[in-house]
């Protein structure tokens, strides 16, 4: 690697150090057992199996998943805390279909803010048609001999429907 | 064991992969905490969320405003990068980007419209940072854009989080901007492809990285919705998208450096850009519109560059 000018090393070290340590001390006390997020993964798979929380039967849910592009979403866990953003704390899932296949996300709201949007399913079983712009993760999967791919920042348009579904639940 | 999780943040896909001997559940929890850094940075630095700290900054000019450590670090870094490039990289261009159609919140679809700014166009010189009091003073009204800084900074913070939890080998990829720590599952330096700027499911070549970041800028993913032929990158001095380069990748010890200077170098163009990267000590590879590849002298050696083109 080329030898980076020392003032830039100093500036970056200070910037990351300040931003990182402040997170611990002031705004983000470290969660001890961060249960909600891992829970959400579990809940997601539970939804797929039973889909009872949303008041729709499992067979109906399966049918939605299998045949249409409009998927159902379940509010999985929710407390009654509502903050300025209008989101209630909890974990919510959303699903959708798009050009790369089926996608599912799990959105966790903490203190009224989006704490994470995890992709819980991204089945890239795209059909034979030529797709212009595949996400890097798909490209890296196709190029089995690389660990990952660096490129211009891709947008998340493939996931918008799924995320919107989950956020609608969080606002309800 | 390798554990990988994918997230959506900052309008892109964030992938975190760790290789360690720890129990899987512990690795998952660590990945979630690392991902938390992205949401934290987004809540401070987003130009697309009227509720972010950045967009809630008071309109007042010439008054020092105390900001959070995250926002301060991002703005200070952006202003330093602007000074380094003589304004070819400039965080004061938020309002211009809004006008070019880059004002849509990717989660809600809402568009941000800031008030018309004063005719006297602000530049990075109108942002005064005070590290002692951690304040920002704006000398002219402006919307600050941290689009080429925040993602890189979040990658570095996620890496710091994982290191702090005892991980040596991991990969953080935020929409094509990557930090590669340690080695991959095969105990080799991580092998990273650089995306082909035209054929999107192909790669132009590969690099090998160990404890380094690589970020790639290009106009090919985000065209302007209102200006034909223009994209999300803007030359602040000409008022147009840079057109000579299709893609520019920078390898650096910090993702925030690689992020900001891959953007700066694409605006600087092939000649001036390579010169600046050599001068700073950054490794850079550029792909021109007519698919010529140029690089700094040490890029190929630094990344064991293996072209596919």
Q: What is the per-residue pLDDT across B70-123, written as a single tens digit (0 to 9) for each?
A: 999 999 999 999 999 999 999 998 888 888 888 888 887 888 887 765 556 899
The β-bridge partners of B137 are B128
CATH of span B189-307: 3.10.520.10
Tell if the CB–CB gap between B173 and A136 is shorter than 8 Å. yes
pLDDT of residue A26: 41
CATH of span B65-138: 1.10.3980.10
Q: A134 at the B interface (CB within 8 A)?
A: yes
Closest alpha carbon to B264 in B87, B102, B124: B87
Q: How confident is the model at residue B302 (pLDDT cuts 50, 70, 90)?
A: confident
CA distance B210 to B170: 10
Strand boundaries in chain B, DSSP class E: 2-9, 12-19, 65-66, 127-130, 135-138, 169-174, 177-181, 190-195, 203-209, 212-217, 245-252, 283-288, 293-295, 306-307
At residue B272, what are phi and psi to the nearest 5 degrees?
A: -65, -35
Considering only residues 68 to 127 of chain A, which have any Cβ-Cβ distance to chain B shorter than 8 Å? Answer: 84-85, 105, 113-119, 122
pTM here is 0.82
Q: How confident is the model at residue A100 (pLDDT cuts 50, 70, 90)?
A: low
Tell if the CB–CB gap between A22 and B70 is shorter than 8 Å. yes
> What is the interface pTM, i.e. ipTM, of the complex?
0.91
Q: Residues A154-159: what's their mean pLDDT?
A: 75
The chain B residue lying nearest A140, using CA atoms, is B193
Q: Are B16 and A13 in contact (CB under 8 A)?
A: no
Q: How confident is the model at residue B210 (pLDDT cuts 50, 70, 90)?
A: very high
CA distance B171 to B166: 14
Distance from the Cα of A2 to chain B's closest Cα (Å) equals 5
Q: How confident is the model at residue B213 (pLDDT cuts 50, 70, 90)?
A: very high
- The neighbour count for residue B55, using CB atoms within 10 Å, is 17
- B242 vs A contacts (CB less than 8 Å): none
pLDDT of residue A24: 52
Q: Residues B224-236: what's their mean pLDDT?
A: 85
Residues in chain B: 309
Domain-by-domain residue ranges, chain B? 1-47+147-170, 65-138, 189-307
DSSP, residue by residue, A92-154: EEEEEEETTEEEEEEEEEETTEEEEEEEEEEE----SS--S---HHHHHHHSTT-SEEE-SPP
Which candidate from A28, A142, A147 shows the least CB-CB separation from B201?
A142
- The neighbour count for residue A21, using CB atoms within 10 Å, is 12
Tell if the CB–CB gap between A16 and B278 is shorter than 8 Å. no
Output the average pLDDT for chain A: 64
How far, rounded to the nearest angstrom, does the alpha carbon of residue A98 sit from its chain's CA centroid? 16
Distance from the Cα of A12 to chain B's closest Cα (Å) equals 7
Which candidate from A34, A85, A152 shows the least CB-CB separation from B220?
A152
**Residues B279-307 as b or e (16 or more Cβ within 10 Å = b):** ebbbbbbbbbeeeebbbbebbbebbebee
pLDDT tens, A13-59? 999 999 998 765 444 333 333 333 333 333 333 333 333 333 333 33
Q: Residues B286-306: what's their mean pLDDT?
A: 90
- A122 vs B contacts (CB less than 8 Å): 6
């Amino acid at each position: 690697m080329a030898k980076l000018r020392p003032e830039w090393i100093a500036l970056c070290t200070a910037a990351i150090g300040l931003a990182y340590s402040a997170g611990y001390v002031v705004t983000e006390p470290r969660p001890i057992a961060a249960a909600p997020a891992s829970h959400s993964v579990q809940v997601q798979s539970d939804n797929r199996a039973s889909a009872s929380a949303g008041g729709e039967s499992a067979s109906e849910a399966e049918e939605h998943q299998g045949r249409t592009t409009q998927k159902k979403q379940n509010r999985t866990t929710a407390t009654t805390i509502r903050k300025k953003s209008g989101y209630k704390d909890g974990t919510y899932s959303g699903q959708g279909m798009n050009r790369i296949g089926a996608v599912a996300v799990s959105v966790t709201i903490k203190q009224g803010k989006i704490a994470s949007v995890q992709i819980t399913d991204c089945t890239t079983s795209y059909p034979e048609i030529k797709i212009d712009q595949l996400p890097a993760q798909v490209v890296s999967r196709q190029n089995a001999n690389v660990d990952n791919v660096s490129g211009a920042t891709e947008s998340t348009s493939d996931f918008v429907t799924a995320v919107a579904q989950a956020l609608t639940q969080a606002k309800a | 064991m390798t554990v990988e999780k994918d997230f959506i943040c900052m309008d892109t896909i964030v992938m975190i992969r760790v290789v360690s001997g720890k129990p899987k559940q512990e690795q998952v929890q660590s990945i979630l905490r690392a991902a938390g850094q992205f949401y934290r940075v987004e809540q401070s630095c987003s130009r697309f969320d009227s509720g972010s700290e950045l967009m809630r900054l008071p309109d007042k000019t010439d008054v020092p405003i105390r900001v959070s450590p995250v926002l301060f670090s991002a703005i200070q870094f952006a202003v330093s990068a602007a000074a380094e490039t003589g304004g070819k990289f400039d965080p004061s261009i938020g309002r211009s980007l809004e006008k070019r159609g880059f004002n849509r919140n990717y989660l809600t679809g809402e568009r941000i419209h800031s008030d018309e700014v004063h005719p006297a166009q602000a530049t990075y010189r109108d942002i005064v940072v005070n590290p002692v009091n951690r304040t920002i003073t704006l000398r002219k009204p402006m919307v600050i854009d941290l689009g080429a800084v925040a993602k890189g900074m979040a990658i570095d913070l996620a890496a710091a989080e994982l290191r702090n939890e005892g991980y040596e080998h991991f990969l953080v990829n935020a929409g094509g901007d990557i930090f590669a720590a340690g080695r991959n599952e095969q105990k080799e330096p991580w092998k990273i492809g650089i995306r082909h700027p035209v054929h999107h499911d192909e790669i132009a070549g590969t690099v090998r990285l160990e404890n380094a970041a690589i970020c790639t800028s290009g106009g090919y993913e985000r065209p302007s919705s209102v200006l034909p032929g223009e994209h999300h990158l803007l030359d602040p001095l000409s008022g147009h998208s840079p057109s000579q380069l299709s893609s520019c990748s920078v390898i650096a010890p910090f993702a925030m450096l690689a992020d900001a200077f891959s953007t700066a170098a694409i605006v600087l163009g092939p000649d001036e850009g390579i010169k600046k990267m050599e001068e700073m000590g950054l490794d850079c590879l550029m792909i021109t519109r007519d698919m010529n590849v140029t690089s700094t002298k040490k890029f190929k050696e630094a990344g064991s560059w293996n072209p596919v083109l």
